[in-house]
């Protein structure tokens, strides 16, 4: 088993509530939701953070955003609006060092974020 939590979620060694999956990414419900809809989009490839991406990942990163928009529609938060977030590094609040986007919706979001 990998020592990376999200790699283990991708391989299903750690269970999760999967809302979407394709060849390159998985989307799951966050275990500790910060909003009525809180979904994590996780690439199957291990990339520690946005700092560790290269031009080779451009298609994957674009695909993640397209799928986020698609899931927002499926979760009925697209019309009212939602937030797509990447926390990068210590000051960005990243706690799991495997790149992921948070899709948050179902309530009004504050700005600036904390
Ligand atoms: P970060 O703080 O790295 O941006 O986000 C990590 C997210 O992963 C947090 O929102 C946290 O609640 C979520 N999380 C941590 N462990 C698990 C887990 O085992 N399963 C699921 N589904 N989410 C997790
Ligand atoms: Zn990983």
Task: Note whether residue 111 is domain-resident.
Answer: no
**Residue among 2, 11, 27, 30 whose CB has most ligand 1 atoms within 8 A, to mutate:** 30
Contacts of range 59-67, beta carbons closer than 8 Å, 24 or more positions apart = 60/24, 60/25, 63/24, 63/25, 64/25, 64/101, 65/101, 67/20, 67/22, 67/25, 67/27, 67/41
Task: Note whether residue 46 is domain-resident.
Answer: yes
Joined together, the tokens standing for residue 23 give 């060849």
What atom of ligand 1 comes closest to residue 97's alpha carbon? 3
Task: Note whether residue 23 is domain-resident.
Answer: yes
**Residue among 2, 17, 19, 32 whose CB has most ligand 1 atoms within 8 A, to mutate:** 32
Q: Output the tens digit of pLDDT for each of the chain's 114 residues.
A: 899 999 999 999 999 999 999 999 999 999 999 999 999 999 999 999 999 999 999 999 999 999 999 999 999 999 999 999 999 999 999 999 999 999 999 999 999 998
Range of the domain at 58: 5-105
Q: How many domains does the chain have?
A: 1
pTM given for the model = 0.98
pLDDT in tens, 21-32: 999 999 999 999
CATH number of the domain that residue 67 is part of: 3.30.428.10
pLDDT in tens, 3-12: 999 999 999 9
The residues, ordered by sequence, that sit 6+ positions from 103 with a Cβ below 8 Å of its Cβ are: 27, 37, 38, 39, 40, 41, 68, 71, 72, 75, 82, 83, 84
Task: Note whether residue 112 is domain-resident.
Answer: no
Question: Is residue 98 among the annotated active site residues?
Answer: no
Is there an atom of ligand 1 within 6 Å of 47 CB?
no
Task: Note whether residue 110 is domain-resident.
Answer: no
Task: Note whether residue 113 is domain-resident.
Answer: no
């Amino acid at each position: 088993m990998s020592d990376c939590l999200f790699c283990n979620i991708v391989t299903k060694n750690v269970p999760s509530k999967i809302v979407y999956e394709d060849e390159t990414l998985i989307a799951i419900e966050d275990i500790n939701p910060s909003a009525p809809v809180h979904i994590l989009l996780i690439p199957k490839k291990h990339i520690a953070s946005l700092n560790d991406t290269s031009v080779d990942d451009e298609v994957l990163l674009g695909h993640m955003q397209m799928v986020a928009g698609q899931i927002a529609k499926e979760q009925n938060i697209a019309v009212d609006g939602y937030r797509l977030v990447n926390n990068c590094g210590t000051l960005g609040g990243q706690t799991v060092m495997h790149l992921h986007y948070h899709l948050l919706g179902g309530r009004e979001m504050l700005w600036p974020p904390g």
